[in-house]
């Protein structure tokens, strides 16, 4: 006889007894191994391997995306009992495996068995929620459940309105220009400089009419967020933390994302970063990945200013559930269609860039995006005569990079932009740095177009 399916139960109120009795009915092939009073107890039971399926109330206190992710990491599938006050989409956004109508014992047993089978066969489809049961409270209105009570996929509901691209801008320590590159790349993708160039007719003719896309700049640097200060925005309302919180609760929709990401010029929106570095636990990967998914629906380009560090916190490696300080950066690198890697064009910066490119191969998440290497602040005063050739040679020789993108040094222009709280594209559109970032934008467009 097959071993009984072990179930952890964390159901609130009077329904709890009914659920436990239904699951434990003779011949069900199911054993309720723990009746958990709260989420902490459920997580502990999951971590201890006490069950392979969890049946939870939709309104279980503290149930969020991070908690569901933890259970799934521990090999526990999560079934949520639908609840009037918690729309199915919310539960789906939390990452639960299925939503089951309450008081439908047949559907519950089917869902538990299906989940246990999925655990056994190791089929780890992304946690797309399925709705099982009679319909009614908590169910979707326009997509009734099938008659036999089996699953129906509701993942196709919220079809994306756009399919935007994510660009992660990363670079080693030493302020190589990650934020400057993120900001100016975002401005170039959004055609922000072209209006300003209109005032300088010659420059406009040179570059032709820039393409204008909707762009979102996300400050995900958990060590030194600076986009808000750089653009002179109020920094007491970290947009990214707010939308990450909503994402963690399964409540991040496009209007919420748009509300926290104001337009700062042209078609450029900004999600500001955490105001104090100590707030990094507010940006767990499970939430940031949802933010980036939503962003793809909101805008054509999402540019993420990443922190410099990419390793997993080593002291915490034994604890796979411990929050990771670099989680937001790692989530961006994993999600990115293009990873822009920025280094400074001087002897120290190039050496760090070469090592950084190696480090990027060892990050604890898969990074599949196309890589574009940028050497910033190319100047002869730091590398001698013919600095472009020197930088190209060094990167080809030591890192095997033969198509580095060069950005010249323009301290006066960048300082003026900093002083005015604007992008360089708006402040000094004729700066050669702007032309270099326009070129980078064209390159990013080209590599993503080629990748389709
Ligand atoms: N091409 C450039 N020419 C001149 N100055 C530049 C250039 N790029 C960046 N800078 C200046 O270098 C400084 C650091 O740039 P930035 O803040 O973009 O680096 P970062 O890598 O984001 O640093 P942090 O580690 O603080 O996040 C800023 O003062 C910026 O204006
Ligand atoms: Mg920065």
- Are 300 and 215 spatial neighbours (Cβ–Cβ below 8 Å)? yes
pLDDT at 194: 67
**Ligand 1 pocket, 340 CB below 6 A?**
no
Average pLDDT over residues 267-291: 94
pLDDT tens digits for range 62-95: 999 999 999 999 999 999 998 877 788 888 899 9
- Nearest atom of ligand 1 to the alpha carbon of 171: 21
**Ligand 1 pocket, 226 CB below 6 A?**
yes
Choose which residue among 170, 172, 179, 186 to substitute to test ligand 1 binding: the one with the highest number of ligand atoms within 8 A of its C-beta: 179
- Nearest atom of ligand 1 to the alpha carbon of 308: 25
- State the distance between the two ends of the chain, measured CA to CA, in whole angstroms: 49
Question: What is the token pair recorded at 111?
Answer: 């869902």
pLDDT tens digits for range 159-180: 446 799 999 999 999 999 999 9
Cα maximum dimension of the chain? 84
Which residues neighbour 190 within 8 Å (Cβ) at sequence distance 6 or greater?
A: 212, 213, 214, 215, 266, 267, 268, 301
Instruction: Point out the least confidently predicted range of 142-156, 345-359, 411-425.
Output: 142-156
Kindly indicate the confidence band of residue 138, based on its pLDDT and cuts at 50, 70 and 90: very low
**Residue 198 C-alpha to ligand 2 middle, in angstroms?**
29
Q: Has residue 369 got a pLDDT over 50? A: yes
**Ligand 1 pocket, 175 CB below 6 A?**
yes
**Ligand 1 pocket, 433 CB below 6 A?**
yes
Residue 287 buriedness (CB in 10 A; 0-12 / 13-18 / 19+): buried
Instruction: Point out the least confidently predicted range of 230-244, 277-291, 328-342, 418-432.
Output: 230-244
CATH among 3.90.79.10, 3.30.70.260, 3.40.50.2300, 3.40.50.2000 for 5-132: 3.40.50.2300
Q: What are phi and psi of 362, to 5 degrees?
A: -105, 10
Kindly indicate the confidence band of residue 269, based on its pLDDT and cuts at 50, 70 and 90: very high
**Residue 95 C-alpha to ligand 2 middle, in angstroms?**
32
Whether the predicted model's global pTM rises above the 0.85 cut: no
DSSP letter at 316 equals: G
At 80, is the secondary structure helix, strand, or coil? strand
Kindly indicate the confidence band of residue 193, based on its pLDDT and cuts at 50, 70 and 90: confident
- Nearest atom of ligand 1 to the alpha carbon of 417: 31
Instruction: List Cα–Cα distances, 102 to 28, 53, 256, 420, in angstroms.
Output: 18, 17, 30, 58
Helices (H) and strands (E) in the chain, counts: 19, 14
- Nearest atom of ligand 1 to the alpha carbon of 180: 18
Give CA–CA dist 166/337, Å, rounded. Answer: 5
**Residue 51 C-alpha to ligand 2 middle, in angstroms?**
44
Sheet holding 165-170, edge to edge: 263-265, 268-271, 215-220, 301-306, 165-170, 338-344, 370-378, 405-408
Q: Has residue 231 got a pLDDT over 60? A: yes
Q: Has residue 54 got a pLDDT over 90? A: yes
- Nearest atom of ligand 1 to the alpha carbon of 221: 27
**Ligand 1 pocket, 178 CB below 6 A?**
yes
Using alpha carbons only, how large is the chain's radius of gyration in Å?
25
Angle in degrees, CA 189, 192, 198, rounded to 5 = 125
pLDDT at 45: 96
**Residue 344 C-alpha to ligand 1 middle, in angstroms?**
9
Supply the residue whose CA is at minimum distance from atom 24 of ligand 1: 175
**Residue 446 C-alpha to ligand 1 middle, in angstroms?**
25
> In the CATH hierarchy, which fold is given to the domain comprising 165-451?
Rossmann fold (3.40.50)
Q: Which residue has the higher pLDDT, 2 or 289?
A: 289
**Ligand 1 pocket, 329 CB below 6 A?**
no
Q: What are phi and psi of 64, to 5 degrees?
A: -140, -175
Q: Has residue 101 got a pLDDT over 50? A: yes
**Ligand 1 pocket, 176 CB below 6 A?**
yes
- Are 99 and 80 spatial neighbours (Cβ–Cβ below 8 Å)? yes
Supply the residue whose CA is at minimum distance from atom 15 of ligand 1: 177
**Ligand 1 pocket, 407 CB below 6 A?**
yes
> Do 5-132 and 165-451 have matching folds?
yes
Q: Has residue 201 got a pLDDT over 80? A: no
Give CA–CA dist 346/269, Å, rounded. Answer: 32
Looking at the CA of 308, name the nearest ligand. Answer: 1
Instruction: Point out the least confidently predicted range of 148-162, 217-231, 295-309.
Output: 148-162
Average pLDDT over residues 7-17: 93
**Ligand 1 pocket, 270 CB below 6 A?**
no
- Give residue limits of the domains in the chain: 5-132, 165-451
pLDDT at 162: 75
Q: Has residue 114 got a pLDDT over 50? A: yes
**Ligand 1 pocket, 149 CB below 6 A?**
no
């Amino acid at each position: 006889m097959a071993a009984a399916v072990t179930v952890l139960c964390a159901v609130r109120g009077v329904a709890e007894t009914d659920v436990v009795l239904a699951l434990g009915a003779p011949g069900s092939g199911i054993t309720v191994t723990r009746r958990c009073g709260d989420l902490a107890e459920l997580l502990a039971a999951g971590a201890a391997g006490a069950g392979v399926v969890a049946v939870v109330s939709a309104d279980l206190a503290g149930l969020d995306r991070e908690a569901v992710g933890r259970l799934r990491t521990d090999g526990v599938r999560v079934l949520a009992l639908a609840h009037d006050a918690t729309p199915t989409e919310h539960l789906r956004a939390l990452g639960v495996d299925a939503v089951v109508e309450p008081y439908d014992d047949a559907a519950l047993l089917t869902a538990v068995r299906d989940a246990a089978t999925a655990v056994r066969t190791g089929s780890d489809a992304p946690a797309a929620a399925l709705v099982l049961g009679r319909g009614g409270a908590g169910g979707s209105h326009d997509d009734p459940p099938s008659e036999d009570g089996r699953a129906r996929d509701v993942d196709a509901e919220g079809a994306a309105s756009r399919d935007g691209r994510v660009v992660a801008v990363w670079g080693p320590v030493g302020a190589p220009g990650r934020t400057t590159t993120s900001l100016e790349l975002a401005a170039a993708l959004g055609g922000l400089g072209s209006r300003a160039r209109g005032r300088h007719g010659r420059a406009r003719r040179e570059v032709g009419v820039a393409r204008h896309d909707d762009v979102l700049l996300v400050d995900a640097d958990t060590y030194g967020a600076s986009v808000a200060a750089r653009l002179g925005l109020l920094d007491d309302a970290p947009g990214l933390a707010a939308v990450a919180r909503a994402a963690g609760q399964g409540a991040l929709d496009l209007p919420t994302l748009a509300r926290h990401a104001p337009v700062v010029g042209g078609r450029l929106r900004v999600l500001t970063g955490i105001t104090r570095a100590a707030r990094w636990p507010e940006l767990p990967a499970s939430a940031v990945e949802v933010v980036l998914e939503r962003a793809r629906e909101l805008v054509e380009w999402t540019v993420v200013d990443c922190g410099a560090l990419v390793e997993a916190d080593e002291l915490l490696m034994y604890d796979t559930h411990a929050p990771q300080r670099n989680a937001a950066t790692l989530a961006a690198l994993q999600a990115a269609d293009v990873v822009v890697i920025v280094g400074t064009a001087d002897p120290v910066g190039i050496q760090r860039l070469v090592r950084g490119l190696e480090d990027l191969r060892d990050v604890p998440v898969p990074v599949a995006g196309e890589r574009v290497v940028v050497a910033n602040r190319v100047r002869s005063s730091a590398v001698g005569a013919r600095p472009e050739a020197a930088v190209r040679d060094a990167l080809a020789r030591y890192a095997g990079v033969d198509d580095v993108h060069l950005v010249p040094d323009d301290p006066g222009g960048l300082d003026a932009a900093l002083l005015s709280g604007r992008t360089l594209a708006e402040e000094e559109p004729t700066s050669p740095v702007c032309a270099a970032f326009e070129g980078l934008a064209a390159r990013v467009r080209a590599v993503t177009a080629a990748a389709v």
